[in-house]
């Protein structure tokens, strides 16, 4: 249909980067111009993405479209830069460009008056460009480059208010934690290059199909997994995501809910041809994802900061996605990625609206009665929460149900039960938030007012998407999503009514329980807290993981520093001083040869002559030649 748009796909990446360059170099002094340029760039990228997606999904594209140019050619190493456009790409393009566009528009209102307005839009552009480059990449090398760039953009945006120590530390923590994961990722890439000689996805898929050494494949899979564990904040590298809430709320919406953290899930999807050959690695993925989902959900139960609750919710949902990837339900995982992007971005942006109205107050217990003062925000937030909890017929229900169905039907009963439990907890803590902050009886929300249009319109758009986006993957549209986003060997499970009913019921139960405790106060939450004091403290302090890491780091870094210090003082210094001492000592001894008397020197010369003559006599005349 719009086949010509495929040829222009590279513009999608280039436009935001160009915006970044222009803003960064020239337009710094004109904030509104900078913002306009950035929004224009992402808007154009969005339009192009829509055209491409139309061609991919409706234009009957037979095969994935690939375009690549040779970037680096050395003997034994060829690195390409290229584009790969297939169903997965189409989905990601729409998600990323749409959410980025809405967030940038929203930021016009949220960041209004901030002294770093231009820089903010520059960073937003660089993030958008990097994320799109990652999504369009056709080989691991390019993905890695953009992966790192995305991490950089995240660092810049988390630490945007760099005057705050907490923000600075959070930015560094994010980057460093990511780096740890990237180390494994890079090793995996190196192994792939060495063993298979290519990093191109299609090329590798062909090679791996016939490769038999499973031990190596498992090793590569596990190493490759380290990247998503870092980027998508799975346990144990999840520690950066809650702290990343120090950044402006639109940033949290875009990066830490919808797109960047989804990059890890996207990578797993792209690299599925490797993972699907190693069932052991898949099991690891599933367990890591499932554990993270439960782990984060429990912590979210007792948090008081609205953004923290949403952050742990993101962690939990990412766990769902990763778990889906691990049990072979790649389609379900990508589907949930899409729906989650919409409703989580919605939730964050609405939370931002609240924070903005409450003069940067983020504690839910200090909010209340917001539904009267901020109706649009309130009801869009509720829609988002319903979607997240998985209430039919909203989008979250369909995607979460696909995952649970996949777990149930493929026999992973433990994971299925875990997923169901997490669904219950998710509904509970989200509505705890809603009842306390929006419907509560606190007087905190007295002075709030609704946000300007530029902030509420994106909320409405996202709310609509949160409602309808799920239909593309549901039985109602004959699983259209699965038709385009799939992999060889995918198993399609027939819809199971029992699973659907159970997941819906569980969610509704969670909501009712939250209503009972927090709205009607049938059970006092304070009494509950008293009764389960130990567990409460443990959860509130995030299982003390941060403190453990800190302690480990101290031991490690202190110990290493001490060893290296010793080394420096004694070995390196010793070596240098030793050479000096040697020279001095030699000098002290040798100076006695300088007697100042000519006869001594003549004697030395003659000794030399005698030595040469002696050597010649011993070794023959040939020695002199």
Binding site for other proteins (CB under 8 A): 591-592, 594-600, 602-603, 606-607, 609-610, 613-614, 617
Q: Rank residues 453 and 613 by Cβ distance to other proteins and give the closer one.
A: 613
Nearest CA to 388 out of 261, 485, 293, 452 is that of 293
Q: Rank residues 520 and 588 by Cβ distance to other proteins and give the closer one.
A: 588
Both tokens of 222, joined, read 């596990």
Cβ count near 294 (within 10 Å): 18
CA 523 to chain centre: 38
State the minimum distance, in angstroms, from the CB of residue 563 to other proteins.
44
**In angstroms, rounded to a whole number, what is the distance separating the alpha carbons of residues 299 and 318?**
15
State the minimum distance, in angstroms, from the CB of residue 589 to other proteins.
11
State the minimum distance, in angstroms, from the CB of residue 572 to other proteins.
33
Q: Rank residues 69 and 598 by Cβ distance to other proteins and give the closer one.
A: 598
State the minimum distance, in angstroms, from the CB of residue 593 to other proteins.
9
State the minimum distance, in angstroms, from the CB of residue 623 to other proteins.
14
Whether the CB-CB separation of 85 and 65 falls below 8 Å is answered with yes
Which strand (E) or helix (H) includes residue 350? helix 330-357
State the minimum distance, in angstroms, from the CB of residue 617 to other proteins.
6
Q: Rank residues 512 and 612 by Cβ distance to other proteins and give the closer one.
A: 612
Report CA dihedral (544, 549, 555, 557) to the nearest 10 degrees. -150
Tell me phi and psi for residue 67, to 5 degrees.
Answer: -140, 125
The angle subtended at Cα 397 by Cα 396 and Cα 398, nearest 5°, is 95
Give the sign of the dihedral formed by CA 142, CA 399, CA 231, CA 205: negative
Name 68's bridge partners.
Answer: 82
Both tokens of 558, joined, read 């202190």
Q: Rank residues 4 and 592 by Cβ distance to other proteins and give the closer one.
A: 592
Q: Rank residues 554 and 595 by Cβ distance to other proteins and give the closer one.
A: 595
Q: Rank residues 495 and 603 by Cβ distance to other proteins and give the closer one.
A: 603
**In angstroms, rounded to a whole number, what is the distance separating the alpha carbons of residues 205 and 190?**
16
**In angstroms, rounded to a whole number, what is the distance separating the alpha carbons of residues 215 and 206?**
19
State the minimum distance, in angstroms, from the CB of residue 612 to other proteins.
10
Both tokens of 576, joined, read 């240098």
Q: Rank residues 541 and 600 by Cβ distance to other proteins and give the closer one.
A: 600
Cβ count near 614 (within 10 Å): 10
**In angstroms, rounded to a whole number, what is the distance separating the alpha carbons of residues 172 and 240?**
9
Q: Rank residues 165 and 594 by Cβ distance to other proteins and give the closer one.
A: 594
Q: How far from 91 is each of 65, 350, 444, 484, CA to CA, in Å?
A: 14, 24, 41, 9
Nearest CA to 473 out of 445, 453, 495 is that of 495
Tell me the three state secondary structure of residue 75. coil
Q: Rank residues 572 and 617 by Cβ distance to other proteins and give the closer one.
A: 617
Nearest CA to 245 out of 257, 232, 230 is that of 257
State the minimum distance, in angstroms, from the CB of residue 599 to other proteins.
5
Cβ count near 191 (within 10 Å): 16
Both tokens of 314, joined, read 């993101």
Q: Mind spelling out the 3-state secondary structure of 145-209?
A: HHHHHHHHHHHHHHCCCCCCHHHHHHHHHHHHHHHHHHHHHHHHHHHHHHHHCCCEHHHHHHHHH
Q: Rank residues 29 and 588 by Cβ distance to other proteins and give the closer one.
A: 588
State the minimum distance, in angstroms, from the CB of residue 622 to other proteins.
15
Q: Rank residues 212 and 597 by Cβ distance to other proteins and give the closer one.
A: 597
State the minimum distance, in angstroms, from the CB of residue 578 to other proteins.
24
State the minimum distance, in angstroms, from the CB of residue 577 to other proteins.
24
């Amino acid at each position: 249909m719009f086949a010509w748009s495929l040829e222009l796909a590279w513009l999608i990446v280039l436009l935001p980067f160009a915006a970044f360059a222009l803003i960064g170099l020239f337009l710094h002094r004109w904030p509104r111009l900078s913002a306009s340029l950035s929004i224009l760039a992402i808007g154009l990228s969005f339009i192009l993405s829509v055209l491409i997606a139309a061609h991919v999904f409706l234009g009957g594209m037979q095969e994935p479209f690939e375009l690549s140019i040779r970037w680096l050619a050395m003997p034994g190493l060829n690195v390409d830069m290229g584009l790969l456009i297939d169903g997965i790409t189409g989905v990601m393009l729409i998600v990323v460009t749409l959410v980025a566009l809405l967030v940038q528009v929203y930021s016009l209102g949220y960041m209004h008056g901030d002294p770093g307005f231009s820089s903010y839009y520059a960073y937003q552009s660089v993030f958008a460009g990097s994320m799109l480059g990652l999504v369009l990449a056709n080989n691991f090398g390019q993905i890695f480059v953009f992966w790192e760039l995305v991490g950089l953009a995240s660092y810049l945006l988390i630490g945007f208010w760099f005057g705050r120590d907490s923000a600075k530390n959070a930015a560094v923590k994010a980057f460093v934690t990511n780096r740890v994961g990237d180390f494994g990722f890079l090793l995996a890439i190196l192994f792939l290059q060495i063993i298979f000689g290519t990093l191109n996805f299609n090329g590798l898929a062909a090679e791996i199909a016939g490769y038999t050494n499973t031990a190596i494949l498992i090793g590569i899979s596990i190493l490759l997994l380290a990247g998503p564990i870092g980027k998508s904040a799975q346990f144990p590298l999840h520690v950066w995501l809650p702290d990343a809430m120090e950044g402006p709320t639109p940033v949290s919406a875009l990066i830490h809910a919808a797109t960047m953290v989804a990059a890890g899930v996207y990578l797993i999807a792209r690299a599925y041809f490797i993972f699907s050959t190693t069932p052991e690695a898949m099991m690891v993925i599933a367990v890591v994802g499932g554990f993270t989902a439960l782990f984060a959900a429990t912590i979210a139960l007792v948090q008081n900061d609205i953004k923290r609750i949403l952050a742990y919710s993101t962690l939990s949902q990412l766990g769902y996605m990763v778990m889906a990837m691990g049990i072979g339900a790649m389609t379900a995982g990508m589907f949930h990625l899409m729906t989650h992007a919409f409703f989580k971005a919605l939730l964050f942006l609405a939370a931002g609206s609240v924070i903005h109205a409450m003069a940067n107050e983020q504690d839910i217990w200090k909010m209340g009665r917001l539904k009267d003062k901020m109706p649009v925000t309130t009801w869009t937030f509720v829609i988002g929460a319903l979607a997240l909890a998985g209430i039919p017929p909203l989008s979250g229900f369909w995607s979460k149900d696909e995952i649970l169905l996949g777990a149930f039907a493929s026999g992973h009963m433990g994971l299925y039960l875990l997923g169901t439990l997490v669904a219950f907890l998710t509904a509970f803590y989200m509505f705890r938030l809603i009842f306390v902050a929006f419907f509560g009886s606190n007087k905190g929300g007295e002075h709030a007012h609704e946000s300007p249009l530029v902030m509420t319109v994106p909320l409405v758009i996202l709310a609509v998407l949160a409602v309808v986006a799920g239909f593309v993957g549901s039985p109602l549209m004959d699983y259209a999503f699965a038709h385009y986003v799939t992999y060889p060997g995918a198993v399609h499970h027939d819809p199971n009514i029992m699973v659907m009913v159970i997941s819906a019921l569980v969610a509704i139960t969670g909501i009712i329980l939250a209503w009972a405790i927090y709205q009607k106060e049938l059970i006092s939450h304070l009494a509950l807290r008293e009764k389960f004091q130990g567990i409460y403290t443990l959860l509130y302090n995030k299982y003390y993981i941060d403190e453990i890491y800190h302690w480990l780091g101290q031991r490690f870094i202190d110990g290493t520093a001490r060893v290296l210090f010793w080394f420096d003082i004694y070995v390196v210094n010793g070596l240098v001083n030793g050479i000096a001492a040697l020279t001095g000592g030699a000098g002290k001894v040798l100076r006695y040869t300088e007697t100042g008397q000519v006869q001594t020197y003549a004697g030395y010369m003659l000794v030399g002559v005698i030595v040469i003559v002696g050597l010649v006599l011993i070794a023959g005349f040939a020695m002199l030649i």
